[in-house]
Structure 1
């Protein structure tokens, strides 16, 4: 019995240590969840200029704006959200960049390339320029600043979970 008592004690301490672990995902609950909006549009431009999709938004200075691109925009696959800015490396050393700028009333999502985007193949244009869907996520600055644990903004699902956002019925707008 004396030999088994230390093992029982060690097992009890191990169980208590494990059950008191505080490494679970902290969720920041906002009073009013940040609005999310999907926009779908086709990039158009001339020569080597930026190609832009314009969208009106209602953001305040107390919000952080994140933009995600649905990498499966022109397919029947479920949405796969990629945070932008993002660079895609195409064949023959060609690079295509997605970026965005915003103010309180507007957001501009742009593509810029080291080549004339008019020379893209139909497959490339359908993959990167035509009918592209973006998700705009507005997060209250206070929630982002006071977060006790960092969140990986590259991981859309982690952002939704961390900020307790409801992405089941996101309004959608077709632009251009």
Structure 2
């Protein structure tokens, strides 16, 4: 009986020995499921009837932790392309006093862009009417500024750094 118990114990040990699994951890520094996006709003007018302020509704709710950057098309050059300025943006008179500016605020649902300053009704229409605005949404996992070596003032650097295809911008009619 001792021999039978010894053989049974030996078979049991061999069987338990084969239940070994190896865990493989892959350290992938590229996050393939976090996507940055750009929404473009054209024909945006800042007038006295809307209080020189517009609401840019997002096509869907974003995460509260996402970073939202708003850019205004400042100049178009067919040779070098579009020139986008990050908001807030301020313009001054030659003597250094405030003339006008743009400011923005964002929620999970929209971004509000406002025009403020001195004598807005007399402001050149090129700064008030038919504006084109782009909202860049950067997921929280990517938006840690201390770890991000990109100049947010440079639109082209931002879309390049976050791998955004500038041809696939979501265009939203305002």
When normalised by structure 1's length, the TM-score is: 0.69
Kindly indicate whether residue 41 of structure 2 is the aligned counterpart of residue 55 of structure 1: no
Give the equivalent residue in structure 1 for 2:134.
135
Match of 1:72, SS? Answer: strand
Give the equivalent residue in structure 2 for 1:105.
109
Superposed, 1:23-38 pairs within 5 Å as 30-38=32-40
Kindly indicate whether residue 80 of structure 2 is the aligned counterpart of residue 81 of structure 1: no
* Contact 2:34/2:139 (8 A) holds in 1: no
Mapped to 2, the partners of 1:125 and 1:43 lie a distance apart of 9
Match of 1:159, SS? Answer: helix
Structure number with bigger Rg: 2
Could you tell me how far 1:94 is from its partner in structure 2? 5.0
* Contact 1:50/1:112 (8 A) holds in 2: no
Give the equivalent residue in structure 1 for 2:67.
64
Greater share of strand: 2
Match of 1:133, SS? Answer: strand
Mapped to 2, the partners of 1:133 and 1:68 lie a distance apart of 9
When normalised by structure 2's length, the TM-score is: 0.70
Mapped to 2, the partners of 1:85 and 1:135 lie a distance apart of 13
Q: Alpha carbon RMSD of aligned pairs, Å?
A: 2.6
